[in-house]
Structure 1
Amino acid sequence: MLSLQEISDRMEIQDLMVRYAHAVDTAQWELLDEIFTPDAHIDYSAMGGAAGGLTETKRFLAAMLPNFPAFQHMIGNSAIALDGDTATARTMCHNPMVVSGGEGPPSLMLCGLWYLDTFVRLDGTWRIKTRLEEKSYVFVAPAAPGTT
């Protein structure tokens, strides 16, 4: 049976991951300072992205995401393991992204991945210390003929 503290910790960690998705999907890069530790290491390289610290990650996201007219991060199925003031999790992410078609119609890129995270509790607040993406799939669905 889970203790009230374990239930609270799991809910706080799940909320942290939702806040991450919200911050990225709304381009509020400053919110990432409240989600990651200052010395966090974030590795998006499995899906073709950058790897580095928080500053580099914010710079990468701010430069890369405006190339996509629309995108969403949908997360779920988190397997969280608690150990006092540290935790790990493997969380599924489905990330559909609209890819501009230039002069033609856009296409839809479907990205499936897992976030492999380590968390620490700092001053009573959970933060992500490391994030590693693990690729599941990428599929680009072309636009239907005659769409714009």
Structure 2
Amino acid sequence: MTQRVELATVMDRLAVDGLVTDYAVAVDDGDWAAYRALFTPDGRADYRSAGGIEGDARTVAGWLADSMRLFAMRQHLIVNRRVSFGILEQDTGDTARVQADYVNPMRFAGPGGDAGAPDFVCGGRYAFGLLRTYDGWRLREVVVEEKWRRLPGRPTDPADRDHAG
């Protein structure tokens, strides 16, 4: 590899990493306009393994907006990011796949605020499919694979999947 190609790859990795971080921040902050803007026009998300829905980014953003009202605080962490670049129409680097683990602590909204409200924690793995566009990298696909969750007062039960994260 030449230095120019290596530098371009590093810049792409940083941009892809920034997009994944922007995704987490948009969900945690409930910024659904920003969430939708992260996707390509045909972008889709699949939260079924976490008890949610699958659909286009606009539909899923609406579902998330409703579902996340249950939680006064959200702060999910996306770690162990594995990035690979692919080829679209013979141009190297037009696509990317990211596989990344997540831990998602959230606090239920309680009466009169969140003081004393119980916490809900889940974890799993994301599969992101990205596409390089004229506006930069965008999400074409997000698939959530929830692997575990801990509800207040209950042990972790992988079969208990009734909220998304």
Which TM-score applies when normalising by structure 1? 0.87
CA distance in 1, matches of 2:55, 2:98: 20
Letter of the 1:41 counterpart: R
Aligned residues with identical type, % of pairs: 30
CA distance in 2, matches of 1:51, 1:33: 14
CA distance in 1, matches of 2:36, 2:73: 23
Asked if 1:131 corresponds to 2:142, the answer is: yes
Q: Show structure 1 runs of 4+ deviating over 4 A.
A: 100-103
CA distance in 2, matches of 1:109, 1:28: 21
| Distance apart, 1:7 and its partner CA | 0.7
Structure 2: runs of 5 or more not aligned: 87-92, 154-165
| Distance apart, 1:111 and its partner CA | 0.6
| Distance apart, 1:118 and its partner CA | 0.7
For 2:17, the equivalent position in structure 1 comes to: 14
CA distance in 1, matches of 2:7, 2:63: 38
Matches within 5 A, 1:25-104: 25-83=28-86, 84-100=93-109
Letter of the 1:139 counterpart: R
CA distance in 2, matches of 1:124, 1:67: 34
Measured on the aligned residues, the alpha-carbon RMSD in Å equals: 2.0
CA distance in 2, matches of 1:73, 1:36: 19
Number of positions where the alignment pairs a residue of Structure 1 with one of Structure 2: 142
CA distance in 1, matches of 2:72, 2:110: 10
Query: For the structure 1 residues 28 and 100, does the alpha-carbon distance in structure 2 shift closer, same or farther, using more than 3 Å as the test?
Result: closer
CA distance in 2, matches of 1:73, 1:12: 20
Q: Is the 8 A contact 2:119 2:151 kept in 1?
A: yes
| Distance apart, 1:45 and its partner CA | 0.7
Q: Deviations over 1:4-63 (max 9, x none)?
A: 111111110110011111111111111123211111110011111111001111110111
Give 3-state SS (helix, strand or coil) of 1:55's partner: helix
Give 3-state SS (helix, strand or coil) of 2:151's partner: strand
Asked if 1:118 corresponds to 2:121, the answer is: no
